[in-house]
Amino acid sequence: MTRLNLFLALVLVVCALGIVTSQHRARKLFIELQQEQDLAKQLEIEWGQLQLEQSTWAMHATIEQIAGGKLQMKVAPASRIQFIPAPQSTRAAP
């Protein structure tokens, strides 16, 4: 009977260590998940800021200001502008 009690106590200790180990690992994984979610939120915020910055730089007035100020470019007079029509599609009608 003593051997059975000793064996059951050993099994109990092994099970307890297994539970403690699995809980510790679960906590570490949960902390890592939270960190990754925080990083995802930060990246989403940065993506929104970059899209806003891109739309600001792409505005016609901004481009025209940079072209005139830094590059010394000017709008061509209407007499020098030529419009070239797009080529017609060569698809046959059904």
Tens of pLDDT along 31-66?
A: 999 999 999 999 999 999 999 999 888 888 888 888
Domain-by-domain residue ranges, the chain? 2-66
The confidence score (pLDDT) of residue 40 equals 98
- How many angstroms from the chain centroid is the CA of residue 16? 41
Does the global pTM surpass 0.95?
no
Tens of pLDDT along 73-82?
A: 888 898 888 8
The helix/strand/coil state of 76 is coil
**Separation between Cα atoms, residue 81 and residue 71, nearest integer Å:** 20
